[in-house]
Amino acid sequence: MSSQTHFFVPIFFLIFLTTTLAYASTTPKTQTLNTNTNPNPPQIQYINPKLPQKAFTSSKKYEGSSNLVHLRYHMGPVLSSSPINIYLIWYGNWPNSHKQTIKHFLLSLSSTSAPSPSVSDWWNTLSLYTDQTGANISRTVLIAGEHSDLRYSHGTQLTRLSMQQVISNAVKSAPFPVDHKNGIFLILTSQDVTVQEFCRAVCGFHYFTFPSMVGYTMPYAWIGNSAKQCPEVCAYPFAIPGYMAGGGPGALTPPNGDVGIDGMISVIAHELAELSSNPLVNAWYAGEDPTAPTEIGDLCEGLYGSGGGGGYIGQVMKGRDGMSFNMNGIRNRRFLVQWIWSPVLQACTGPNKLD
């Protein structure tokens, strides 16, 4: 979402609570679907945690579809130049293991080596979006450079404006050239850094740099590690709010073993999808107000699999290690990433859809 909107889940929670109360007379149990007829199936199951049996319908298609959604193109650019060069800014204290998990996700966006359902399959839906010339969003994404701001150059309390200063500092300090015509900045703040409206109203946002501060206009996205500040908000469903305890789905086990990082990855995906399809806040979005657009990630908030909606994330996969995921990445990585709006289906979709 743009800098004027946010990745947040309170409405999703309210919908969930309403749905939960409707089934309060029963105690639902985890529904496990074995869709594999192979006599020696892999140790993976499709699950929808604590999904009431009544919620199953004859069709699982078009989760999130609605005649009320009017996603429109507003004639602005999309990230069609290939490759899309990502310039990473690690702000704060970042363990190498956390960096590796995030970079493996980013490198999975273009890789064809991962088995389906894959991260690159998810990005292929994004590549269906075009600009006014008919050029599609690029399918090739690269990590073009990295800069570590270990000394917290602008402190541990950042604002939207100081985020531009963080970028400016990185541009001056980084030992690599920046292709500002075909690149994006991705600023990731460590768990000890607070950001304006973080946890209260946003988990991440995207916008573009100001020439007066950075020297040129270039799209960027910021995402914070919520592990110590609000995992129940920004790392859901790996952590759940207290008021959901007992009546809703239990917290899922993160596929890479870290609630904060696995939660960040879905927000990173959300922001990259919206930044790519609406980089200057004048391309693909719903609504009439460009300062508060509803973008392609916002339309699918909280959906991770078939049957999702009404407070349920949908059917996802669980490995024999108990970790939940819905797509595969490089180097045997697994990730749980929210779905995005398809301009073809006019509905939310993901590579793990069952029909």
pLDDT tens for 94-104 read: 999 999 999 99
Q: What is the pLDDT of residue 4?
A: 45
Residues with Cβ within 8 Å of residue 10, at least 6 apart in sequence: none
Q: What is the pLDDT of residue 54?
A: 45
Burial (Cβ within 10 Å: 0-12, 13-18, ≥19) of residue 201: middle
Count how many residues are written for the chain: 355
For tokens 């199953």, the residue is: 56
Q: What is the pLDDT of residue 65?
A: 52
pLDDT tens for 280-294 read 999 999 988 888 899
Q: What is the pLDDT of residue 288?
A: 85
Q: Residue ranges of the chain with pLDDT lower than 70?
A: 1-43, 48-68, 245-249
Number of H helices, E strands in the chain: 7, 17
User: Which of 63, 30, 118, 104 has its CA nearest to residue 352?
Assistant: 118
